[in-house]
């Protein structure tokens, strides 16, 4: 009985985690890809970072990425990023930051 309960809990967590990852990928496609590209390489004319590189990933902490997504960001060069607090919950933003980390090659 204990093994069955443990198996059920493990399966439920795996399903929730994969659904959460899919949602983050969908949010990337919906809100981020237009500037940062679907694969995270960034778009040259916009001067957005190539998040497939370790260097770009190392330049931003999870907290800074969360804040930029939630509150917006104005870089020294290039266009400003609008805030997405009205589009995503804090948990969705955290999942999006985690998804961005998976783009590093």
- The domain ranges of the chain are 2-102
**Rama region for 47: left / alpha / beta (φ>0; ψ in -120 to 50; rest):** left
pLDDT-derived band of residue 52, with 50, 70 and 90 as boundaries?
A: very high
- At residue 18, the pLDDT reads 44
Percentage with pLDDT > 70 across the chain = 79
Is the domain covering 2-102 a CATH 1.10.10.10 domain?
no
- At residue 47, the pLDDT reads 83
Q: Which residues of 68-80 are buried (b: 16+ CB within 10 A; e: fewer)?
A: bbbeebeeeebee
Q: Tell whether the model's pLDDT for residue 96 goes beyond 60.
A: yes
pTM to 2 decimal places: 0.78
List, in order, residues 6 or more apart from 100 with CB less than 8 Å away: 28, 32, 40, 51, 57, 65
Tokens of 92: 């969705």
Determine the average pLDDT of the residues in 31-57: 92
């Amino acid at each position: 009985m204990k093994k069955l309960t443990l198996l059920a809990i493990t399966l439920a967590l795996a399903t929730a985690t994969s659904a959460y990852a899919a949602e983050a990928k969908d949010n990337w496609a919906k809100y981020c890809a237009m500037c940062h590209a679907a694969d995270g390489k960034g778009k040259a004319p916009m001067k957005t970072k190539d998040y497939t590189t370790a260097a770009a990933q190392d330049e931003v902490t999870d907290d800074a990425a969360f804040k930029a997504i939630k509150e917006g960001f104005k870089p020294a060069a290039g266009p400003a990023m609008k805030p997405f607090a009205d589009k995503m919950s804090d948990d969705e933003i955290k999942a999006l930051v985690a998804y961005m980390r998976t783009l590093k090659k």
